[in-house]
Amino acid sequence: MSTLPIASALAEMTPVGLGELIDLAALQRRVDRKYVVPLDQLPYLLGQLAPDARVLEIDGERAFRYESVYFDTPWLASYHCAAYRRRRRFKVRTRSYLDSAQCWLEVKISGARGSITKHRLPYHPQYRTTVRPGRDFVDEALRSEAISPTAGSTLDPVLVTSYRRVTLLLPATASRVTVDTGLTWQDGGTALRLPDLAVVETKTSAAASPADRMLWHRGMRPVRISKYATGLAALRPELPDSPWRRTLRRHFHGTAPWVAPAPTTAHRTEQEASCV
């Protein structure tokens, strides 16, 4: 589908700068709701939000290329904590903003009632495929959240995701909406794409946002999807996938992985894990 209808809807929105967006809706502790939305539904969604929403704009651009490298232990502790629905779960990743050559090392903690806490450290892009320079930061972030499954273990790159993101600010509720398209996952030399779907994520302090209510009105409900865990489950069918099985069957079924030209991640085979 052409991106022109999306661009037209975005053009109707008032821009917001990154600094103002963070000041108004940093939401480092938040509730996330994720939706898988057909691309042809995006113009309607963005058009309905346009009167009140503001769109992140940097140097005249409103859609940005992202790359995330996810790290895990040799026994995939982070993945298995999610697969077995442990009460407290974690993800470690580097996030690169390819259009601005910026990079962050991030630790995300999932807690009770879907709450998310994110710890971030500015990171040199040349280190985006390793946590070694930031390992003390990672360990301290996990300790601060009473999680210690990585003690004495390496954290290796496991999965790379890439996509284009649009970020909206809903000022009335100080909430955010992200729209990710061009979704690609790469595990070693194998990759997977979902070219006809978008992942729409609402980020609020707790209550549903206007975007949530609009999606509900269109018959769309939050789904269990994690760019790391669901993507890895799709590429490694031998892994436990119970939390995302419905999403995998509905949206990933029939999407064949393809051989990527440049392997960037390590493949792990051990599957037992422990998590606090």
Say if strands 258-259 and 190-194 run parallel, antiparallel, or are unpaired.
antiparallel
CA angle 151, 243, 74 (to 5 degrees): 30
pLDDT of 261 reads: 59
Number of domains in the chain: 1
Q: What is the pLDDT of residues 106-151, one digit of tens each?
A: 999 987 666 778 899 999 999 999 999 999 999 999 998 888 766 6
Read off the tokens for 69: 């490298």
Residue 26 lies in a domain: yes
Q: What is the CATH number of the domain that holds 217?
A: 2.40.320.10
Contact by Cβ (8 Å): 275, 142: no
Q: Quick one: pLDDT band at residue 275, thresholds 50, 70, 90? A: very low
DSSP state of 54: E
Dist. CA 31–CA 116, nearest whole Å: 6
Task: Output phi, psi for 114, to 5 deg.
Answer: 75, 10
Nearest C-alpha neighbor of 187 from the set 128, 232, 253, 244: 232
Contact by Cβ (8 Å): 272, 75: yes
Residue 264 lies in a domain: no
**Which is it for the CA torsion 58, 137, 69, 112, positive or negative?**
negative
Residue 75 lies in a domain: yes
Residue 267 lies in a domain: no
CB-based contacts of 19-27 (< 8 A; 24+ apart in sequence):
21/56, 21/167, 21/169, 21/176, 24/169, 24/171, 24/174, 25/169, 25/174, 25/175, 25/176, 25/203, 27/174, 27/175, 27/176, 27/203, 27/204, 27/205
Residue 84 lies in a domain: yes
SS3 assignment, position 203: strand
Which H helix or E strand runs over 249?
none
Domain that holds residue 11: 4-259
Tally the residues of the chain.
276
CA distances (Å), origin 41, targets 56, 161, 202: 21, 23, 16
Q: What is the pLDDT of residues 34-65, one digit of tens each?
A: 999 999 999 999 988 888 899 999 999 999 99
pLDDT of 90 reads: 93
Dist. CA 207–CA 31, nearest whole Å: 8
Q: What is the pLDDT of residues 231-268, one digit of tens each?
A: 999 999 999 999 999 999 999 876 667 656 554 444 43
Angle between helices 4-11 and 42-49 (to 10 degrees): 0
Q: What's the pTM value of the predicted model, to 2 decimals?
A: 0.85
Asked if pLDDT for residue 270 goes beyond 50, the answer is no
Q: What is the pLDDT of residues 148-198, one digit of tens each?
A: 766 668 999 999 999 999 999 998 888 899 999 999 999 999 999 999 999
Say if strands 14-16 and 54-56 run parallel, antiparallel, or are unpaired.
parallel
Report the mean per-residue pLDDT for the chain. Answer: 86
Nearest C-alpha neighbor of 203 from the set 177, 229, 225: 177
